[in-house]
A and B are shown apart, each in its own frame.
Chain A
């Protein structure tokens, strides 16, 4: 089973240098998880590749289900691809959310989300993960990785939560992590493909 680093968001505000003990723990965790990570033998693809079968399954689960969130479930590879992506759907009729995790064109996980999560549906026409990564890398991501020895850990697509100006905007949020520095968050407008904001946290 492949694992990946999960950055935990603490604040939207920039923060000073991390304390030494936190840094040490972060280094240990990164080394531990990093040794288990890898591309494996599964094909890596952009986020939209698994949407079709996930949507078909969601329609079987609930006719009113709509896509509300996407996240990479395994380590990201070059070009904004990952071997496995998770697609979260919400049904207002059932008042439940259900996730489908797709790898190699097959659903390998289907489970109800235990937590209450009523996010708005994603708008149509969102750019794929490769284009979002290009925009984020060019603006700040590449420089962050070069300066801090960081890497892209998470890409997530959702509507509202990370877009400050327009709450209706569907955005990709890319999170770059480094054992030596605070994580870099880059928010990309999923319609226009432009970077809207960046912050460290």
Chain B
């Protein structure tokens, strides 16, 4: 049973990793992404730039802690953190 579970977890982990790599890739053409696809891209950009989660980023932006970085405004607009 343990071996079976390891096998299942291993397959899931590999598939999950492959999916994550694919999921955060930028779209290959114009159009409208699903909310999930767009959220993953925004979260990835925030992680890459600020090493924060979406929630942490929104709190920091709204507290004025990222005012010095114009990229924060770009990500605040795409994420909705800047919305009133």
Partners in one complex: no
Contacts from A to B (Cβ < 8 Å):
none
